[in-house]
Amino acid sequence: MARLGHPSGEAGIAEACRSFGALQIISNSASMTPEQIVAGAAPGQAFGWQLYVQHDRTKSERMLARINKLSAIKFIALTLDSPVTGKREDDERSGNVIGSEAPFQGDSNDTMPTVPVEDPVFKGMDPTLTWKETLAWLAKHTDLPVVLKGIQTHEDAYIATQYTPQVRGIILSNHGGRSLDTAPPAVHTLLEIRKYCPEVFDKIEIWVDGGIKRGTDVVKALCLGARGVGIGRAALWGLGAGGVDGVKRTLQILTDETKTCMRLLGVKNVDELGKQHINTRLVETEIYDGPSGLEGCRAKL
């Protein structure tokens, strides 16, 4: 809902990403249509499309048909971390609403009535997604690769590798902690994968979403095997503070901090980063420490 922060909305974020070669995943609840957001894309600029599968599958299928026509969108980010609406007390207290003048991309270019933020998406979500049925359904409606957003256990990360090449990556995320209080942060899941099924890193890309506020956070995630990080909140703060220039400033700060951290570690290239550069002992005391559960996963495949 980027236009709540600035009139340039998601297109403004896209313009800033263009300057930095950053990947933008367009939200299913974006305040602009996907066509509007990618209209100014530079050659080679890449986007993903975040999909919330709806109870009425025809709505999702119509959106996928539109996405298939946009060459700048390179993959579908299938949302898994919010099968139902969480108890969002901040939203309840603030009474955030979308005015009727704000365009909602939905499955048309129409405006929408005044409703709570994200309400149209969550009220129509299908909470019954399964590995076999949902991925097979997606394959019928798009040839785009799939990135699974919202993986929170090493078991699911392992299962995801069994659905390549359709599934090309996973995003470790707890939906910003807004869906389930005390859900594991992405760094815990990242460490679980390293402990129980490190082969996942060689089979699919792993991205981390949540808690990335400084360049040092970016470096920590890369040290633990992530190939990329999500900074949605930081981008929105930059947009609200200064529009397109605010997002550019945010990306520049993170870029500078990341480079500085790497230099102070004596590292020239990202591929040189590894676990030897980070002390995880304290965090490791907080992650799951029981049986791997992978035999049960294999038996169900």
List 6, 154, 175, 188, catalytic entry:
175
Burial class from Cβ neighbours inside 10 Å (0-12, 13-18, 19+) for residue 279 reads exposed
Of the candidates 6, 52, 156, 209, the residue annotated as catalytic is 52
Q: Is 224 helix (H, G, I), strand (E, B) or coil?
A: coil
Please indicate whether residue 154 is annotated as part of the active site.
no
* Cα torsion angle, 227, 152, 25, 250, sign: negative
CA distance 114 to 108: 17
Dihedral sign from CA coordinates of 153, 157, 160, 166? positive
d(CA 33, CA 52): 15
SS3 150: strand
Q: How far, in whole angstroms, is CA 287 from its chain's centroid?
A: 22
Three-class secondary structure assignment of 52-88:
CCECCHHHHHHHHHHHHCCCCEEEEEEECCCCCCCCC
Return d(Cα 292, Cα 196) in angstroms, integer: 6
Closest CA to 11 of 214, 235, 212: 235
**Cα torsion 247, 253, 256, 261: sign:** negative
Annotated active-site residue in 81, 156, 209, 217: 81
- Calculate the CA dihedral of residues 45, 231, 181, 54 and round it to 10 degrees: -20
Residue 149 DSSP symbol: E
Structure tokens at 261: 């951290």
Task: Determine whether 55 is an active site residue.
Answer: no
- 6 carries an active-site annotation: no
Cβ atoms of residues 250 and 19 within 8 Å? no
Catalytic positions are 52, 81, 175
